[in-house]
């Protein structure tokens, strides 16, 4: 197992994650307001649930990473992200459906909060200091490129095949990302993996 290979696998998975996330970002609001018939206030509550989940996930992130390993936490959180969008796709135009949507948003926030610190912490730990700037610039440039591709694609296809169908497609994409990463060497990544000479 090499640190470089683990980090590369994680980066590729992150780019795919951003692509799927851009798709959901484009269809989330029209799906909630038009398909589910939620009010703007109700949608705001659901998004607030995501914020609460994000806070709780971030508070537990370091402890989870140290206990289970950053790789396993990131993989589990990406699987939870897929489940969160499945819950959204299963939501209906009813009080129970709106509650299910809110639970999905809470789970999404929880998974992102716990994942982010572990993924970024691991990446910064295993990258030599002299390469930090280049690594972050390259990673973020590609991630933003995925948004440029995914957002208009999600909106275009959502208008044509339905927002609900796009959520199912995105959920499958998130699950593929989690599965691919789970089968890679990244599952053994830990926050205490570091280069001996990081300068």
DSSP codes joined into one string, 32-65: IIIIS---HHHHHHHHHHHHHHHHHHHHHHHHHH
Domains of the chain plus CATH, in order, are 3-188 (1.20.1250.20)
pLDDT by residue for the chain (199 residues), tens digit each?
A: 445 545 566 777 888 899 999 999 999 999 999 999 999 999 999 999 999 999 999 999 999 999 999 999 999 999 999 999 999 999 999 999 999 999 999 999 999 999 999 988 888 888 888 888 888 888 888 888 999 999 999 999 999 999 999 999 999 999 999 999 999 888 888 877 654 444 4
Q: Note the pTM of the prediction, 2 decimals.
A: 0.87
Say if residues 73 and 61 touch (Cβ distance below 8 Å). Answer: yes
pLDDT of amino acid 86? 97
Taking the C-alpha atoms of residue 10 and residue 25, their distance in angstroms, rounded to an integer, is 22
Say if residues 189 and 70 touch (Cβ distance below 8 Å). Answer: yes
Taking the C-alpha atoms of residue 69 and residue 23, their distance in angstroms, rounded to an integer, is 29
């Amino acid at each position: 197992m090499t640190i470089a290979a683990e980090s590369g696998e994680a980066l590729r998975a992150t780019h795919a994650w951003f692509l799927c996330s851009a798709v959901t970002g484009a269809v989330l609001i029209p799906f909630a307001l038009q398909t589910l018939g939620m009010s703007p206030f109700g949608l705001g509550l659901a998004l607030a649930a995501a914020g609460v989940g994000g806070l709780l996930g971030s508070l537990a992130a370091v402890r989870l990473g140290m206990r289970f390993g950053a790789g396993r936490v990131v993989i589990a959180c990406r699987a939870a992200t897929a489940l969160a969008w499945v819950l959204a796709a299963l939501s209906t135009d009813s009080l129970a459906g709106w509650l299910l949507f809110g639970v999905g948003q809470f789970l999404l926030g929880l998974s992102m909060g716990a994942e982010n610190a572990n993924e970024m912490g691991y990446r910064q730990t295993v990258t030599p200091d002299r390469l930090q700037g280049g690594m972050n610039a390259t990673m973020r440039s590609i991630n933003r490129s995925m948004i440029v591709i995914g957002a208009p694609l999600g909106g275009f296809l959502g208008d044509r095949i339905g927002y609900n169908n796009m959520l199912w497609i995105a959920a499958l994409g998130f699950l593929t990302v989690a599965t691919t990463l789970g089968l890679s060497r990244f599952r053994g990544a830990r926050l205490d993996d570091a280069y001996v000479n990081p300068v």
